[in-house]
Structure 1
Amino acid sequence: MTAAGTLGQTLTLPNGAVLPNRLAKSAMSETMGTINNRVTRELATLYGAWADGGTGLLITGNVMVDRRHIGEPKNVVLDDERDMTELKAWAQAGQRHGNHIWVQLNHPGKQSPKMLNKAPVAPSAVPFRKDMRAMFATPRAMNEQEIRDTIGHFARSAALAEQAGFQGVQIHGAHGYLVSQFLSPHHNQRNDSWGGTAEKRMRFVLEVYRAIREATSPSFCVGIKLNSADFQRGGFTEEESLAVIERLAKEGIDLVEISGGNYENPAMAGAAGVKESTVSREAYFLEFAEKVREKVSVPLMVTGGFRTSEGMAEAVQSGATDLVGIARPLAVEPNLSVRILAGEQVVSAVKPITTGIQKIDDMALMEVSWYTRQLGRIGKGKKPHQHSKGLMPLLEVIAVMATRGVANRLRAGE
C-alpha cells in the first residue's frame, strides 16, 4: 500500500468514534489566549487552517483547568462558560472538513514559573534542581481536599469542552506536569493513599480519567499523553508507564499518545543524543510503542521526529502505532497532510533554527519560541516562515518574549 493509502485509512476508537485518517496534530502550546487567559478568535483561525490542511485529529495546546495555576502567559483556562461563544467557534473551525478536534487539559503543578505563581502545588514539596530554582519556586504538597478539587477541575473542563462542541479531550500526563508528577517517584514522595507505591501513584490519573468519563457522554473521546519515561534518576520508568497504560486500557481509554521527558530533562524538545536506529526510523518513541503493543491493543499515537511521508507510513504499517503525531512540521506547513494524502512524497521543511551564536542555538527555548511565533502568524491569517538563519529567528524570539513579559506584568496588575 502507498503512503497515502496507509495514512488515509480511518481509525475507529474504543468508544465508536471514527477518525478520518492516521495523521494527528500533536499539542503545541500556542499561548494565544488573552492576558487574562480568555479564548481569542485567532485560535479558530489557526485550527481552521489545520483543518483545511487535512490532518484528521487536531489536539489543542495545553488548556489549563484552574486559573490559579497556569504554566505560561496567555494559556487559555477552561473553568466556566464565559467564553462559550469563542469556544464553539474554535471547535467548529477545527472540524469543518470532518476532522476531530480535542482539547488537551493540563495542570502545571510545580512547573509554573515564579513570575506566574509564587506558590505552586505538587504531590510533594520537591524543589527543582539548583540551576532552575531562580525560575521555579519549591512547591507546596497538596492536601487531600486540593487533590479532590483538582480532579473535579479536570472533569468540569471536559464537560465544558463537550458543551462547546469539541469531540474529545486529552489528559496531559507527560512532560513533568501535575499528572506526570503524581506518577513519578521522584516528584511524588507521599506515604498516603496517593503515593508510596506505583499502584498508589497511579491513583490520581485513574481518578481524573474516571471523573471525566462521568462528566461527559459515552460518545465523547478521552485520551492521554503519557511519558514513556522521565529520563530522570528516580523518576517514572518504562515499566511503570507500561503498567499505567495497561490499567487505562482496561478502563476503556480511547487513545494513548506516547512522549517523554520533563522540564529538567526535555526529551520532547529534540533529537539530541538519540540512537542512530531511532533517527533512521524518525520517531523518538517508536521502540517503546512496540513494547506497549505487545501488552495491549489500545489505539496508540507516537509523536516526535517524523519528517517524511514514507517514515510516517512505515510506522503505521509496522503496527507499532495507529496514529502519526506531527507538531513542528505543521507549524511551518499547515497543509502538509493534504499533500501527503494526495500522494506526494513529502519531506518536511523543518530544519534547525540557527543564529550562528552557539550558546543561543543550544537553547531549546529559542526554537520553541520561534515555532510559537509561527503559530501566531497563522492565527493572524499570515503564512508561517519555513525556516530561518542568522539573527532573524533571534529577533522573532525576542518579540515573543517581550509580548509575554508585558502580559505577565499586566496580569500581575503592575
Structure 2
Amino acid sequence: MNSPLFNEFTLKNGTVIKNRFIKAAMSEALANAQNQPSEKIFKLYEKWADGGAGVVISGHVMVDRSALAEPRNIVVDNEAVLPFLETWAKRGTKNNTHLWMQLNHPGKQTFKGIVDESVAPSAIPLEGDISRFVAPPRELRHEEILKIIQRFGYSAKLAQKAGFTGVQIHAAHGYLISQFLSPRHNQRKDEWGGDIKGRMKFLLEVYREIRNQTIGDFSIAVKMNSADFMKAGFTEEECIYVAEHLEKEGVDLLEISGGSYESPQMTGRNVKESTKKREAYFLDFAEKLRLSVNFPIMVTGGFRTKTGMEEAIHTNATDFIGLARPFAVCPELPNQMKQNKVQKVEITPKQTGIRAIDDSSLLESTWYAQQLERIGLGKHVRPNYSIWFSLFQAIIKNGKEVFQLRRAR
C-alpha cells in the first residue's frame, strides 16, 4: 500500500520535496580547529542524503565566531569557508535531497571559556543547571542588534552561493532569537522589546535580511517554540500570533518545537500519557496552530513508528515528520521504512543510575554525538553501545570537559 510518508510536497516557492521525512537539526560539533566543516561532516551528510530523507537540516551553524554555542561549531562568516561549504553541499544534496543550513546565534547560551561575557536582549542570567556552564550576559546595544541581523543574512548568502537549497532560522530552545521572543528574557523598553509586536521584531528582521541577501526560490524555514514551558515565558498564544506574521512574510516552512535548556521539553521530559499515544511531543499544538495559519508545518520530537508518522500525515496534523535522534541510530531510516525493513526505531534513555549525571542529560547528548562521529568516520552506528563505555570514551577524549553542556538540537 502507498504510504503518505513518500508523497511529494511542493512548497509555495515551487520547491518540490520528494517525501515527508526531514532530518531535524542535531549539533554535530565536528568542525575543524578553524570552525570549518570537516570530512566527517561531509561523510555524515552524504550518508543521510543516500538514506532517503527529503530534507536534511544541518546542526546549528553560527553566524558569529565570537559567539559559539559549543566548541567545534561550524561558523559561516566569511568567504574563506566557501570551498568547504561547496563540498558539504555537493555531498549533502545527493539523491535529490534538499540540504538546509540551520543558522543560529546562542545569545546568553554561550559557553564559559569561549567568552567571558555573552550577549542577550536583557542582562538576565539563565537559571537551573545550565547557568553553571554559560557566560554571564550583558544587554545588546541597538547597533549590535543590527549587526547580528546583517550577519544572519550574510551567512545565508554564503550558504546559497555554496549550493545549499535553503536555510532554517533557529528561533527556539532558548537561543538568541528565542530570548528576544520571551518576555522572561526580553525586558527591553525600546523597539526590540515590550509586547509581542516588539519582541518578534528581531526574528522578522532576520528573516527579511535573509530574503534581501538571497535570490530565487531559496527556501527559508523557521524553527520556533510552541511555548517555553516556564513561568512568564513565551506562550502558545504568542507563538500563534508570530506564526501568523511569518506566514504573511512568506516563510516557506515552520518547525514546531518547545522548551529551552532551562526547561528541556524538546528532549521528551515530563511528557503526558496522551502525548505518548500520539508519539510526537507537539502534535496537539500543531493541530491548534493549523486553525490560524495555512503554510507548511513540521513537527519534531517523539516520532518512533511508521504507523504514528503516517497517522500524523493522514490527519493533516503536520506536513512533515521531523526526526533527530532516530537518524543518529538509523541514518537510512526513510529507505528502510519504504522497503518495509523497519517499522519502529527504538530510542531508549541513556542513563548511568547516577542522578547527578543523568538529570543533566549531558552524557545522553554526548552518546548521540558519538554516533554521529562514527557515521562521519564511515563506521556503523552502535545503537546498543553501553552508556558506561560512552562515558569512558568521552573522558579519554575530553578529560574534565566531558561534562560541558552538549546541545541536542
Q: What TM-score, normalized to structure 1?
A: 0.94
Match of 1:158 in 2: 156
Give the 3-state SS of the residue equivalent to 2:3 in structure 1: helix
Identify unmatched segments of 5+ residues in structure 2: 405-409
1:57 and 2:55 correspond? yes
Distance 1:132 1:319, change over 3 A: closer
Matches within 5 A, 1:120-159: 120-129=118-127, 132-159=130-157
Distance 1:320 1:204, change over 3 A: same
Match of 2:76 in 1: 78
For residue 236 of structure 1, the aligned residue among 230, 234, 237 is 234
CA displacement 1:160-193 (0-9 Å, x = unmatched): 0000000000000000000000000011000101
Q: CA deviation at 1:362?
A: 3.2
1:395 and 2:377 correspond? no
Q: CA deviation at 1:355?
A: 2.8
AA paired with 2:393? E
CA distance in 2, matches of 1:55, 1:319: 20
Match of 1:263 in 2: 261
Match of 1:411 in 2: none
Give the 3-state SS of the residue equivalent to 2:224 in structure 1: strand
Match of 2:116 in 1: 118
For residue 302 of structure 2, the aligned residue among 299, 302, 305 is 305
CA distance in 1, matches of 2:129, 2:22: 35
For residue 203 of structure 1, the aligned residue among 197, 201, 204 is 201
Matches within 5 A, 1:21-100: 21-100=19-98
CA distance in 1, matches of 2:301, 2:105: 22
Match of 1:179 in 2: 177
Distance 1:238 1:89, change over 3 A: same
For residue 279 of structure 1, the aligned residue among 266, 276, 281 is 276
1:322 and 2:329 correspond? no
Q: CA deviation at 1:397?
A: 3.6
| Paired residues of 1:25 and 1:57 also in contact (CA < 8 A) | yes
Give the 3-state SS of the residue equivalent to 2:132 in structure 1: coil
For residue 10 of structure 1, the aligned residue among 4, 8, 11 is 8
Distance 1:136 1:363, change over 3 A: closer
Q: CA deviation at 1:361?
A: 3.1
| Paired residues of 1:355 and 1:393 also in contact (CA < 8 A) | no
AA paired with 1:286? L
Identity of matched residues, %: 49
AA paired with 2:246? L
Runs of 4+ in 1 over 3 A off after TM superposition: 130-134, 356-359, 399-405
Give the 3-state SS of the residue equivalent to 1:222 in structure 2: strand
Identify unmatched segments of 5+ residues in structure 1: 408-414
Distance 1:93 1:404, change over 3 A: farther
| Paired residues of 1:171 and 1:224 also in contact (CA < 8 A) | yes
Give the 3-state SS of the residue equivalent to 2:167 in structure 1: strand
CA distance in 1, matches of 2:183, 2:160: 33
AA paired with 1:140? R
Q: CA deviation at 1:118?
A: 1.2
1:376 and 2:373 correspond? yes
Distance 1:196 1:356, change over 3 A: closer
Q: CA deviation at 1:352?
A: 1.9
| Paired residues of 2:256 and 2:286 also in contact (CA < 8 A) | yes
Q: CA deviation at 1:35?
A: 2.6
Matches within 5 A, 1:96-111: 96-111=94-109
The total of aligned residue pairs comes to 405
Q: What TM-score, normalized to structure 2?
A: 0.95
Give the 3-state SS of the residue equivalent to 1:101 in structure 2: strand
CA distance in 2, matches of 1:172, 1:252: 17
CA distance in 2, matches of 1:134, 1:219: 43
AA paired with 1:384? V
Distance 1:343 1:132, change over 3 A: closer
Q: CA deviation at 1:400?
A: 5.5
Distance 1:83 1:72, change over 3 A: same
Distance 1:400 1:105, change over 3 A: farther
- RMSD of aligned C-alpha atoms? 1.9
Matches within 5 A, 1:289-300: 289-300=286-297
AA paired with 1:48? E
CA displacement 1:209-251 (0-9 Å, x = unmatched): 0000011013100001000000111110000001111100111
Distance 1:131 1:343, change over 3 A: closer
Matches within 5 A, 1:205-220: 205-220=203-218
